[in-house]
Each structure stands twice: as C-alpha cells, then as structure tokens.
Amino acid sequence: MQEQPLIVVMVSDDPRCRPVLRMAAAMACRYEGMVLPVHFRREFVLVGTPGFIPYQEPGAHEAAHARVAAQVRELAGPLSELRLRQLHGDPAAGLARVAREVRADLVMVAHPPSWRGVLARRMVRRLLRKCRVPVVAVPVADREHTTLRRLRLAVGLEQHSTSADRELTRLLSAGGYGRSDGSRRRHGS
C-alpha cells in the first residue's frame, strides 16, 4: 500500500500566489495526498539588537495571516488536512525545516517573475540542500488565468497532460533531487 504524498507549499497574502496553492490542492486531490501550507512572518535583524524586529505594524501581520487563512479555507475543497503554519525568519530555511519535520514528498514555492534568474535558482538550491526533497518553483504571473492554464496542464487537469503526469509521478516517487540515501548530485556528473 502506497503512502499518501505530502506537499508543502509556501503561501502568502499576495493574490498572485493563489495559483500555486490551487496547483498543490489539485495535485493532492489527484494523488490522494495532503497539503501543508506554510505562511511566513517577514522579519529582519537590526545590527546590535538581541533578536528579530518585525518591520510591520503590530496589526498588519495578523490581518495578513487572516487573509491567508481565508484563502486556504476557500481553496481547501475536499482536503480536510489543509493546515496553516506560521514561521519566523528566513523563508528558505524555515520551509526546509518544515519539510524535514513532516517528511514532505514535494515542496512548492511561488516566486515573482523578477526572480527568473539567479534569485530563484539560489532559493531552490538552498531548499534542495537543506530538505533533500523535490522542489517545484512556480513563477507567479500578473495575469492569473494564464498561470492557471499552465498549472492545469502541469497537474493533468487538461486533456494533453500525459508527459506532465509522468513527470509529477517521477517527482513524487523517490527520484528527482530529493534522495533519501543522503547522496548529492554534482554539477557536470
């Protein structure tokens, strides 16, 4: 009997990130898995201070957290296991920590189109190094319907999706970059 895949997805109150949560929910429905949305509180460290200093006003984070919770409830559908988790600090390190704790099978992150180059690759590499599971980085678009069509094709909700289904099955299996034996792929090998 095969275990249910667990998909960890980073969510925010930015409406452009909704398609990634929809994609994760659709994948979980299709493969009878679960989704764990993770919401981060953005903070920074001031030099000479003993801890984290939030850059938002006191009520701003609670309002953003409430918007994300409503978004997760709206997109949950038949998935009763959708949960919301809040972490402080570096999003890549926090997401990797959550993925390790819950033994995730797949990690999904949304990134702005301006991250197409170095920043997106750097974040994905950090996640791969720290959590050792397959990572899907989805660029968010300004036009939601275009992104949703691409995501439907990738998830297999359109007719011509057999190659995307095979790729997703490969990612959710032990293959890809997430290796359970601790080995790493080297560039050029």
Q: Which of 120, 89, 87 has its CA nearest to residue 102? A: 87
One-letter amino acid of 42: R
Domain that holds residue 162: 6-43+63-172
Q: Is residue 55 part of a domain?
A: no
Q: Is residue 184 part of a domain?
A: no
Q: Which residues 6+ apart lie within 8 Å of 140 measured at CB?
A: 14, 16, 17, 19, 20, 110, 111, 112, 113, 147
pLDDT of the residue at 166: 58
Domain count, the chain: 1
Contact 122, 93 (CB under 8 A): no
Q: Is residue 185 part of a domain?
A: no
Averaged pLDDT for residues 143-170: 50
More confident residue, 55 or 175: 55
Report for 63-72, 126-135, 138-147, 171-180: range of highest mean pLDDT:
126-135
Averaged pLDDT for residues 103-130: 76
Q: Which residues 6+ apart lie within 8 Å of 115 measured at CB?
A: 123, 139
Q: Is residue 108 part of a domain?
A: yes
C-alpha distances in Å from residue 95, one per residue of 38, 88, 145, 146: 7, 10, 27, 27
Note the helical H segments in the chain: 18-30, 58-76, 91-102, 118-131, 144-155, 162-172
pLDDT digits (tens, 9 = 90+) for 76-98: 655 545 566 666 667 788 888 88
* CATH number reported for the structural domain that contains residue 166 in this entry: 3.40.50.620
Per mean pLDDT, which range of 26-35, 88-97, 120-129, 177-186 is the poorest?
177-186
pLDDT band at 144 (very low <50, low <70, confident <90, very high): very low
pLDDT digits (tens, 9 = 90+) for 7-34: 888 777 777 777 788 888 888 888 888 8
pLDDT at 43 over 60: no
Global pTM reads: 0.62
Q: Is residue 78 part of a domain?
A: yes
Write the DSSP symbol of residue 83: -
pLDDT of the residue at 142: 54
Q: Is residue 54 part of a domain?
A: no
Q: Bridge-partner residues for 106, per DSSP?
A: 7
